[in-house]
């Protein structure tokens, strides 16, 4: 149970649903209100399929390339650190103006990839699933729960944005960034520790 809870919290922080709200609003701004729910559900489903494919096939693919688990931990930590620093110092609200939504509705990019199933979340899934199949099944449950929470937040993105306001969203996003920085440092240190064990 502790493994599932820890994995759920980690994945929710990495997916950063509150930080993605401004970007989702921008991407869906020119989509008709009656189509927004369908488009969002489609993108969430695509992102879930991508994350599940990484859960069950990602470790094998890394094995084919001879990539050790500690390398994944260190690389994932570095990626997570970079993303976390961006969350703390450069709010996605500031990135909002860079997204120029076109008349056609978004498909796969940028909503499913990389805003939901991005490098940090996919790396985290690979790290969490490293181990016996029983652990992978626990991570599967965690992915489903985290995805459900992420979907609930993003489905309510327009009302939440109005409720919290710009400053509220920035505060939530920066708090998430600080937590992710601590997690990324821990991931790198664990990877280094595992590497040093192989040298003995």
DSSP assignment of 38-65, as one string? HHHHHHHHHHHHHHHHHHHHHHHHHHHT
Retrieve residue 65's tokens.
């390339």
Q: How many domains does the chain divide into? A: 1
Q: How far apart are CA 86 and CA 71, in angstroms?
A: 23
Angle in degrees, CA 159, 164, 166, rounded to 5: 105
Q: Which domain holds residue 38?
A: 2-199
Tens of each residue's pLDDT in the chain, 200 residues: 677 888 899 899 888 898 888 888 878 877 888 888 999 999 999 999 999 998 988 777 777 888 777 787 788 778 778 877 877 786 555 554 444 444 467 788 878 887 888 877 888 888 787 766 567 888 999 999 999 999 999 999 889 888 888 788 888 778 878 887 887 888 789 889 888 988 87
Q: Is the pTM of this model over 0.85?
A: no
| CB 170 within 8 Å of CB 91 | yes
Question: Cis omega (within 30 of 0) on the bond before 114?
Answer: yes
- How far apart CA 196 and CA 199 sit, in angstroms, is 5
- What pLDDT, on the 0 to 100 scale, is given for residue 74? 84
């Amino acid at each position: 149970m502790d493994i599932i809870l820890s994995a759920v919290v980690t994945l929710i922080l990495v997916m950063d649903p509150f930080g993605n709200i401004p970007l989702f609003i921008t991407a869906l701004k020119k989509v008709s209100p009656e189509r927004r729910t369908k488009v969002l559900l489609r993108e969430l489903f695509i992102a879930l399929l991508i994350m599940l494919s990484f859960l069950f096939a990602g470790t094998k693919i890394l094995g084919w390339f001879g990539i050790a688990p500690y390398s994944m931990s260190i690389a994932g930590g570095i990626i997570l650190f970079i993303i976390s620093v961006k969350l703390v110092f450069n709010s996605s609200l500031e990135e909002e103006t860079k997204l120029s939504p076109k008349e056609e509705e978004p498909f796969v990019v940028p909503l499913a990839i990389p805003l939901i199933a991005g490098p940090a979340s996919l790396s985290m899934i690979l790290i969490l699933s490293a181990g016996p199949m029983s652990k992978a099944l626990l991570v599967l449950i965690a992915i489903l729960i985290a995805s459900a929470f992420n979907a609930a937040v993003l489905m309510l993105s327009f009302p939440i944005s109005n409720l919290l306001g710009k400053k509220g969203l920035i505060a939530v996003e920066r708090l998430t960034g600080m937590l992710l920085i601590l997690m990324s440092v821990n991931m790198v240190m664990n990877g280094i520790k595992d590497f040093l064990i192989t040298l003995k």
